[in-house]
């Protein structure tokens, strides 16, 4: 799959290993738990295991079925991660002496509702890069400062596409009727990979436009993109690298509703303030499409192949441009380590940020 980078520096050859010392993820809950109610809320830390494996281990001890547990999202298998898990408080006593070499219950409280998928604000990450010399460290510092100020393209990460990177092909073949998949969960997973692939293709195309607007003069950009010189002038006046068009589907950030861009002046100001952002389409039924104009043309260019299969997919919108929050970094020269902390909204991949920083896929 094609991938463009936003930043223009040369690749940075550092070592990243997804282990419990160098990759730590802490879930940021969507809301404060009430401290009372019928659901037990466990703050759990796991190491080198999937969320499913962690839930299974809790299930085997307390007797609750795995479907009785609630969680906001699936965390990485590799590394150290914390997240919140809910189960009915009738199982609390059996969990009092819970012990597992890769799982620790950090704390517990209560809440009125079960935790549901998506009930998280985002995640906070710690990443340690090794074998970073002074030149590498300076390049990384410059890059992360830029991303902290400007944001980053919110691609789906490699995890979405499988070890061979071909999950989206299987999804397309299922939609076309060329492949049968009996397991509903796997069928939906492959179709989701196909939707993610189209989103990444669309986002790469929008990055290409940003680079041409920034790198070419008005006449060259107009000829290459097929836009009018007047539109190129307007796009060059936009302060952010990611360019917004009338008709784009925008979204309040980090939460809120999607809407069509009609008042360009107002929305550009809010985009610069990180109050809104642009979105891309995960094609399917019951999801908002772009309005008329160039935004629609750019969307149809990528998504036209999916039109015959929309009834078979649940559609959605995804942030195209996202923002790092609470960025911290430190270079430990004596150990050749570059360490960083940052927070991302739900659905964003730390590995995508890391790829943008290092230019290594």
Whether residue 287 is predicted with pLDDT greater than 70 in this model: the reply is yes
Least confident of 12-16, 52-56, 161-165, 303-307: 161-165
% of the chain with per-residue pLDDT over 90: 94
The topology (CATH level 3) of 158-322 is Pseudouridine synthase (3.30.2340)
Query: What mean pLDDT do residues 85-90 have?
Result: 97
Whether residue 225 is predicted with pLDDT greater than 70 in this model: the reply is yes
The topology (CATH level 3) of 24-121 is Pseudouridine synthase (3.30.2350)
Query: What mean pLDDT do residues 6-16 have?
Result: 95
Q: How far apart are CA 155 and CA 204, in angstroms?
A: 9
Where do the domains of the chain lie?
A: 1-16+130-151+325-361, 24-121, 158-322
- Its pTM stands at 0.92
Query: What mean pLDDT do residues 344-349 have?
Result: 94
Whether residue 1 is predicted with pLDDT greater than 70 in this model: the reply is no
Kindly name the residue from 22, 76, 136, 248 that is annotated as catalytic.
76
pLDDT, one tens digit per residue, over 296-343 is 999 999 999 999 999 999 999 999 999 999 999 999 999 999 999 999
Phi (first) and psi of residue 328, to 5 degrees: -135, 145
pLDDT, one tens digit per residue, over 44-76 is 999 999 999 999 999 999 999 999 999 999 998
User: Which among 298, 342, 115, 288 has a CA at the least distance from the CA of 203?
Assistant: 298
Whether residue 2 is predicted with pLDDT greater than 70 in this model: the reply is no
76 catalytic per annotation = yes
Q: How far apart are CA 59 and CA 67, in angstroms?
A: 9
């Amino acid at each position: 799959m094609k991938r463009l980078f936003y930043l223009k520096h040369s690749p940075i050859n550092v070592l990243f290993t997804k282990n419990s010392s160098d990759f730590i993820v802490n879930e940021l809950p969507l809301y404060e738990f009430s401290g009372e109610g019928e659901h037990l809320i466990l703050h759990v830390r796991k190491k080198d295991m999937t969320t499913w494996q962690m839930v299974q281990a809790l299930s085997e001890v307390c007797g609750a079925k795995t479907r009785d547990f609630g969680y906001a999202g699936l965390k990485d298998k590799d590394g150290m991660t914390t997240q919140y898990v809910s189960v009915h408080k009738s199982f609390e006593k059996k969990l009092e002496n819970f012990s597992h070499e890769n799982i620790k219950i950090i704390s517990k409280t209560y809440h009125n509702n079960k935790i549901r998928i998506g009930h998280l604000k985002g995640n906070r990450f710690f990443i340690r890069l090794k074998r970073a010399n002074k030149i590498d460290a300076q390049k990384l510092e410059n890059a992360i400062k830029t991303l902290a100020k400007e944001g980053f393209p919110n691609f789906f990460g490699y995890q979405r596409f499988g070890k061979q990177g071909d999950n989206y092909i299987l999804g397309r073949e299922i939609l076309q009727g060329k492949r049968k998949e009996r397991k509903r969960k796997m069928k939906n997973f492959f179709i989701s990979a196909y939707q993610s692939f189209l989103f990444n293709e669309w986002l790469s195309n929008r990055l290409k436009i940003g680079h041409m607007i920034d790198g070419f003069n008005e006449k060259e950009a107009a000829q290459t993109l097929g836009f009018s010189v007047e539109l190129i002038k307007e796009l060059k006046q936009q302060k952010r690298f990611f360019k917004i068009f009338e008709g784009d589907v925008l979204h309040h950030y980090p939460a809120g509703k999607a809407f069509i861009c009609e008042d360009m002046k107002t929305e550009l100001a809010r985009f610069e303030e990180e109050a809104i952002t642009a979105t891309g389409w995960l094609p399917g039924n019951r999801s908002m499409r772009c309005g008329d104009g160039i935004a629609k043309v750019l969307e149809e260019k990528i998504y036209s192949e999916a039109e015959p299969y929309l009834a078979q997919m649940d559609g959605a919108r995804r942030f195209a441009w996202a923002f790092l929050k609470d960025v911290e970094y430190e270079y430990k020269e004596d150990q050749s380590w570059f360490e960083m902390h940052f927070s991302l909204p739900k659905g964003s991949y730390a590995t995508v940020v890391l790829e943008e920083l290092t230019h290594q896929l």
